Structure 1
Amino acid sequence: MAKYGEGDKRWIVEDRPDGTNVHNWHWAETNCLEWSRNLLSKLLSDLTIVDGEGNLYIKTKEVDKVEGEAFINIRKGKIIPGYEISVSLSWEGEARDADGKSLLKVDGSVEIPYIADENADEDPEIKVTVMDEGPIGRRIKDAFLSKGKPIVLEKVRVYVQSMAKGGPAKEELEIKKPSTNESSSSPAAIAPSTATATSTATPTPPAQTKKDTKGKKGFKSISLTEKFHCRAKDIYEIMMDENRWKGFTQSNAKINREVGGQFSLFDGSITGINQELQEGKLIVQKWRFGSWPDGIHSMVRLTFDEPEPGVTIVKLTQTDVPEEDRYGNSTVVENTERGWRDLIFYKIRAVFGFGV
């Protein structure tokens, strides 16, 4: 950020005698790299991954490296996180026989090359290596991939959520938050609001979300039509059966098959509630990404039409998709549409062989 006396004066604030940035109205930036190192070390160190299952014992040791940049910007009281970091940590494993005698002890490493705010709604790539690539060493490594990768991703999501809430600047933000009886002439009172920001200050009840966002700027719709050579009931079952979902996406899911039931997809990145279900014909769901502003839900409508036996046309309509996420990224609509195509419909074809 430019210093006073330099750059565009519209973005610069002359120092007040008391040094106060009132209500965080002016741009304030906090370096979070060291804070990120400390938090990720706390989250990822000394984690038990496997404790005796299959006569294996695996745990993480410590975070060896956190490099890159991380900061929190606050403008008009709005949190704008920015980070691009890589993380390295070490782990150890042991295989024992049925009598508890050690067969092999190994050391390994985990590399997370890219954790960034632009991909906050996606899980990062994780690379796992082991020092001994023999049969037992590979078995220990495979166990880490199976059991440890979800644990590591869960901890990374905690970090991402902590940054979204303000990281080390959160306390300062709370202290300087405008009071409810603030004068109407104050900057916070006259600041123009956006559709994605209003629910952060005053959460909208889920039942009112569609009504409140419909027709407002900042929201768009997605429409896709896909053809599959299979029965309509097959596609419906894949979408509504959590074990099949896990099979083709290789990610965790929890799916309740009842109207009013909740679901969680892609390791919790997507959550929602079933609104209407007709087996083999219709799925209507209230649906959101975790990176969207609080209180914002879209509506997903999937229809399954079987014009002839063995041919199914799936029509997707998703309304009230916010153009920006809580971090200010403006690629939400494009990423959501790409996710349906590449991570869901394409995966169904690739894994189950339902061609176009």
Structure 2
Amino acid sequence: MVVHNPNNWHWVDKNCIDWARNYFENRLVGIESSANETKQVEVTSISSMEGDCEVSQRKGKVISLFDLKVVLMIKGHVEDETFEGSITVPEIAFDSEADDYQFEISIYKETGKLSEVRPLIREEIIPQLKEVFCKFGPELLQTHANDIQVPVDQVKSEFTKANAQSTHASASASPPPTVKKTSSNVKSEASSGSSKGPLYNTTTLHLEPTFNVPATELYQTFLDKQRVQAWSRSPMVCKSSKSVLEKGDEFTFFGGNITSKLIGCDVGKRLVFEWRLNDWRQGHWSTLAMDFHESQEYHETKLQVTWSGVPVGEEDKAKGNFLEYYVRSIKLTFGFGAVL
């Protein structure tokens, strides 16, 4: 990064969101509980990371500003029952202390026996996560501070020199964290809809609404055209005359504002749609994947939504609209759960 900033006086910042994503992939994926024949849990991947992460400087003083939400995927077993689930960390912020972090644990297809893994997660996994999050800020500064400042031999101001030395001393106080596992799949998310370059910088959203209905019923609610028209409260326009969507079918609904295409299906378990708002740039599509996790013991289905390719800046709008016009509307229309 080239810096033209005499005496490091003016405000300069650097976007570090891709570095942060790589950092957490390297240090969180692979965290696991101690060896135990009856219970075990492991962090398998990062489903989504939303928010901002920057390093900035003015008058020689370097600061980090970040506010992130991270969703981790987990798997494990309790005796002979295996499970998948997630841990959501709603806020990882530049001013967070270890006791500030909140952790929302979700066990898919949960049973009474599988619920026994929750104490293990709290006792062995969460302390390891906190350790990584507490080291993130100092490591962020240590890695990127020099990128946004001119070399010290070009600084004549004693004031900015002193500020810079104070920053580097603070960043160096914490040793670099140990890398638990390196992922070879880490990459910056951007839509590749054009050979001329990405149409948008994008991000991935993760949602987990719960419905009081069997998975097969909820699955059909997204495919049966009459049901879709009922909960969307709009006509569905589709070339296929069949009553149920099939793989490859493209359709519009919500008054023509949304175009979608069914590109993957596994009966009662998974649906994948290409999805776009019609005011997005031509050629840009997001991918809306839905996994259906039914707990027969608790008589509910958790819908794991992984929505990739959402343009940066559209996250809150996309998430809010999905919860309002998909989740809430389906529950109200068919009585598939309580509506808050």
TM-score (norm 2): 0.44
Whose relative contact order is higher, 1 or 2, with alpha carbons under 8 Å and at least 6 apart?
2
TM-score (norm 1): 0.42
